[in-house]
Chain A
Amino acid sequence: MPIVELSYSRLQKLLGKTTKKQIADLLPFLGLDIESEEDDLIRVEYSPNRPDYSTDFGIILGLEGLLGIKTGAVRLNIKKSNNYAINVESTVSKIRPYVTGIIAQNAQIDDNFIKQLIAMQEDLHFGIGRRRKKSSIGIHDLDKISFPLTYTTTKRDHQFIPLNSNKKLSISEILESTDVGKNYGFLLGNSAKVPIIFDSKNQTVSFPPIINAAETTVTTKTKNLFVEVTGINKSDIEDMLSIVATVLQTAGFRIVSPKIFGGKNTSPKFELKKMVIDSDLINQTLGLKLNNSKIVSSLKKSRLDATLKGKKIICGIPPHRFDIFGPMDLVEEVVLGYGIQNLEPILSPSQTLGQINPISLQLKSVSLIMIGLGFTEALNSSLTSKKILYNMTNRESNEIISVLDSKSQEHTILRDSILPGLLENLSKNIHISYPQKLFETGTVFFQDDPIGEKINFSGVIAHKDATFTEIKSILQSALNQGFDVKIETKTFSHPTFEEGRVASISYNDKIIGIIGEINSKIIENYKVRVPVVGFEISLTGLIFD
């Protein structure tokens, strides 16, 4: 979950009369989890569906609502202007057809705000931008740009000075040598031409979705901003822009909309979305009996517009709340405005009778029987490594099931057997007193159509006098007494076990597992200094299906 760093004093300054404690107590009720707190600074985690909470200004809107300072939807006060225009050329239609943008004028920008803008931009890119694929954003110093702009394509040998550089680089060089180029260049595929925004003096403004020009970098001296968003879907880029516009307006900027022509592109509108909700759905879902005016005031506290029309409640949803899909999302807005702390839990008697799954019951029986026989229960991961599963136990398989791109070397393949894990456990306990007796039941995996799962049961005994007879007695008695299963053992061969001391286990003439003395070389591999005997059988098909 993304994290934003806030400052109490900034929030207090923006909110007016509030205490630190009031703010700290309310933040969780906006869905913001406090990660850490240090003097004036507070780091909170916000949900990826609320990118408007990536800055102080977005959070202010939420706090104002809950505190009752300002309620209802925030309206973007957009000025139209003929001074700013973006012409879209048809060449972009095949690669990144849509562009939108706003001008934000006349406000102070400090270091902290720049930091938050950058963080917000990154979160937007990652989340709703789907790593810049769907939409990406560029924020520029307006005063370094001459309008009108042209959104077009250019060849890969086109040169400009990109952000964080001091010399001209070609598009190809940017894609090969900069971090952003390397990370996002694939989005452009192999096309000969790439998207570009030029100003009226033919200066490069931006190379979406990769990097801005150095010339338009925002600094603490910047007074006016130009924000552009490009992407592959018109609604997505407008969603992203609405977040930035809302945050900038709250930060004190005057928002101006440019004229955008070409293709299906139009100037951004930022209209409230209308949605109707029935009070029955709200009260049925929450278990409350709220009257309509209470529902309306709760929605307003969640910074939505709400008016009554008969039994129906008409909601107006500001454009930056595109996380609201339908009525159930509005139910959540009602309960947030009403306050979760005001919902009293109730315990009604259950109309249904509970039951443990028969497989769970059988596995519990296996555990209890093994405990009675003096075995300690082990638990190992089902996702393990080739080393543990095959190399150490001298086994082979051409049906290994691997996971892709595991972050951990120890968890790369699914186990097809439990015994190797138990042997590994013995090797980690060689300094602990013997005898050591371990067992485990758990899922193992095999290739099927496409994959099969069954539950196996394995046990090991390690001490200086451990023998085949001992382990066979254990398994035979456990299965006989626990499940009325009478097993037979037949001469067998298996690389993990000592030749001549290993048997297959069968029940009703069907092989269900293996038992024997572990090969002395393998015991040595594990640095265990006493003999080890063990078994593994499939419980699936034996004591349950």
Chain B
Amino acid sequence: MSQVFHEIEKKIVLSLKNNPKQTPEQLQTSTDLSPDQIRRGIEWLKLKGLAIVKESQTINLSLGKNGLESFHKGLPERRLLDLLKNDSKKLQDLQSELGTVFGPAMGLARKNNWVDTSEDKIFLKKYPSEFSGEKTLKQIGENKIHQSELDPADLSDILRRPDFLIEEIIKIKEVELTENAKSIEISTNSSNAIDVESKVPDVIVARIHPLKDTIDEIREIFVTLGFTEIIGNMSQPAFWNFDALFTPQDHPARELQDTFYLDGLSAKKIGTSEQIRKISESHKKNWRYYWDINEARKMVLRTHTTCVTIKHLAENKPDEARVFSLGRVFRNEKVSYKHLVEFNQIEGIVLGKNSTLRDLMGIQREFYRRIGLTKIKFWPTFFPYTEPSFQTMVYNDRLEKWVELFGMGVFRPEVTKPLGITKPVLAWGGGIERIAMLKYGLDDVREFYNNNLNWLRSAKKCQ
């Protein structure tokens, strides 16, 4: 295993190979590094799985007041027996001689049958060869001693006696190499190698707006399906946005509360006189109302890109065509997590004498397949300018439900005939933000236009 190590890491590993368990303080001495270098070195080795730090605790013992007294003068029981070695003595005399230690000394001597009492005198019966606890006292003396160095049986005798011992609890960190580290060869030769496995900071990635990515992707799919892009104005006379698409002038969709009208702006020229005449006739005949050209002149912000398509068809009257228009459209709505006043729409048409609804369904199924949506179905719906009209429903795995995406249909004869378009026109399209929301997993459509750099800098490119 070849790995690049920092000088600090090398020194620590080498030292631990010689001396497997060391505290950070011991490592400081053995490596001649500063406490901070040791701390960092240990952290790095831990992250690499090369070192572990074991924490344990030990107890240091020193003698307390009574312990020290016994250390200097002997254990109370030895002092008692020493006084009786030559002769029996009176209780009072022993008491005054030994003071406070007389009681405990006497208790022990009686219990062990070392003394006996006769009338008012106490005499020695047996002088033991050794006194339990004395070894410990001697070992500790005036120093601090690790508990582990002491004879546990001897110690336990002293531990019971009040004020004999002082305990000091000490926490110890010990650094050890892991099994992995033990196999590492540390070269002490200096080299130019750096740690290529260590972490580095992120940088800001400049990028195309995520919504634009989706727009570009969809545009390219349309092109590969044989569609040519046409572009038109966002501001349009109501004539192309509504009248040409068979939406009667008194229809609620045309009211101010749904459509943005441009204050005081009316178009002088809206179409050829034949177009105007035929469209007005179609409206009068089918919708039974007074068709007002001034209403058709009013400028609106387009509510769909269909106005661009229909104008293109009316002007060019192709025999065969696949064209699409993509861009911003507008609705006078309250802005919310699901509605914007301005959003992107794409709409494509297939024109040709052999175009059928099943073909259009096939194109759509292929389109969805290419953006990664495979579970789709078609439901009927209503659009004022197409008949029959379908909508595609796409299954969303994240939301676990069917969501409505693009609409489709055949342009009504009431739309195509007045404009001199004789072949069937099949149209399909819808909002792009909806698809982008699915791709980026967003629940709030406003995010696309907030320009929140946190999001723009973190949204993943490939979804």
Contacts and interface: CB of A to CB of B under 8 A. Distances in A.
B356 to A, nearest CB: 3
Contact of B257 (A286, A351, A373, A407): A407
Given A343-B358, A425-B451, A449-B268, A377 B212 contact: yes
B267 A450 contact: yes
Interface in A425-453: 425, 428-429, 432-433, 436-438, 443, 445, 449-451, 453
B140 interface: no
A29 B380 contact: yes
B150 interface: no
A332 B388 contact: yes
B453 A376 contact: yes
B412 interface: yes
Given A131-B252, A380-B449, A355 B228 contact: yes
Contacts, number: 257
B388 to A, nearest CB: 4
Given A287-B356, A332-B380, A443-B328, A127 B252 contact: yes
Interface residues of B, number: 93
A287 B353 CA distance: 12
Given A236-B288, A344-B358, A47 B382 contact: yes
A404 B228 contact: no
B263 interface: yes
A58 to B, nearest CB: 15
A49 B409 CA distance: 16
Contacts of A33: 379, 381, 404
Interface stretch (B10-18, B54-62, B90-98, B361-369): B361-369
Given A127-B252, A377-B207, A383-B301, A352 B390 contact: no
Interface in A280-308: 284-288
Given A354-B222, A408-B335, A29 B231 contact: no
B208 interface: yes
B359 A348 contact: yes
B395 to A, nearest CB: 14
A186 B354 CA distance: 51
A347 B257 contact: no
B299 A451 contact: yes
A378 B206 CA distance: 11
B361 A343 contact: yes
B379 A352 contact: no
A429 B382 CA distance: 43
B263 A31 contact: no
Contacts of A233: 288
Query: What secondary structure prevails in chain A residues at the interface with B?
Result: loop
A435 B233 CA distance: 36
B256 interface: yes
B224 interface: yes
B164 interface: no
A350 B322 contact: yes
B342 interface: yes
A341 B379 CA distance: 8
Contact of B299 (A411, A428, A450): A450
B387 A367 contact: no
A350 B261 contact: no
A294 B128 CA distance: 123
Interface string B249-262: 01110001100111
Given A134-B250, A377-B208, A404-B263, A360 B229 contact: yes
A408 B341 contact: yes
Interface in B315-337: 320-322, 326, 328, 330, 332-335
A285 B207 contact: no
A31 B387 CA distance: 13
Interface string A372-411: 1111111111110000000000000000011111111011
A77 interface: no
A324 to B, nearest CB: 9
B322 A364 contact: no
Contact of A379 (B286, B321, B330, B451): B451
B254 to A, nearest CB: 11
A327 B219 CA distance: 34
A470 to B, nearest CB: 15
6 contacts: A130-B252, A340-B378, A347-B363, A352-B227, A368-B208, A383-B260
Given A360-B229, A379-B449, A403-B332, 9 more contacts: A284-B354, A343-B378, A371-B207, A380-B451, A381-B340, A403-B263, A403-B301, A428-B452, A443-B234
A345 B256 contact: no
Contacts of A127: 252
Given A405-B256, A450-B299, A335 B358 contact: no
A177 interface: no
Nearest to A357: B229
A315 interface: no
Contact of B453 (A325, A367, A436): A436
Contacts of B410: 285, 328, 331
Nearest to B226: A350
Given A29-B380, A328-B413, A346-B359, A352 B228 contact: yes
B414 interface: yes
Contacts of A284: 354, 356, 424
A48 interface: yes
